[in-house]
């Protein structure tokens, strides 16, 4: 139920650069189209956006669907959404090693989250 409530007040948007979209297409060719992204909250992989096969990642009731990039759903935890709610996420791709469990690992490229402050929606009502 929390995800539905948060979705109604969501200001955050997610987009991807052309190089990130190219890597997404390469991953779809290798791993199939049933993929998802989850914005990592830290620990081993820092704050990297992680790409997983849908069947290998359990989306919880505490995850918020921010949008889609490359036709792949992009989730963030409720606690991280609260901290970043006035930030637009831009998923980029750079040379490097991907996250430990993310599908970009081993490609020589990795996803990177960039951000921009977004203006709060003045029409948003919070009860």
Q: What percent of the chain has pLDDT over 70?
A: 80
| pLDDT tens, residue by residue, 85-123 | 888 999 999 998 877 789 999 999 999 999 888 765 555
Query: In whole angstroms, what is the distance from residue 72 CA to residue 119 CA?
Result: 25
73: number of Cβ within 10 Å: 17
Domain 2-117 annotated CATH 1.10.3470: no
- Identify the three-state secondary structure at position 11: coil
Q: Where are the domains of the chain?
A: 2-117
76 - beta bridge partners?
Answer: 39, 64
């Amino acid at each position: 139920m929390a995800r539905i409530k948060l979705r109604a007040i969501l200001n955050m948007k997610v987009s991807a650069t052309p190089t990130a979209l190219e890597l997404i297409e390469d991953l779809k060719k290798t791993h199939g189209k049933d993929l998802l992204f989850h914005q990592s909250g830290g620990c081993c992989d820092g704050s990297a956006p992680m790409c997983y096969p849908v069947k290998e990642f359990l989306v919880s009731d505490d995850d918020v669907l921010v949008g889609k990039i490359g036709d792949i759903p992009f989730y963030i935890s409720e606690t991280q959404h609260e901290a970043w709610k006035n930030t637009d996420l831009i998923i980029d791709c750079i040379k490097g090693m991907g996250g430990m469990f993310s599908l970009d690992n081993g490609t020589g490229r990795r996803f990177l989250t960039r951000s921009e402050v977004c203006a709060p929606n003045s029409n948003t009502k919070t009860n």
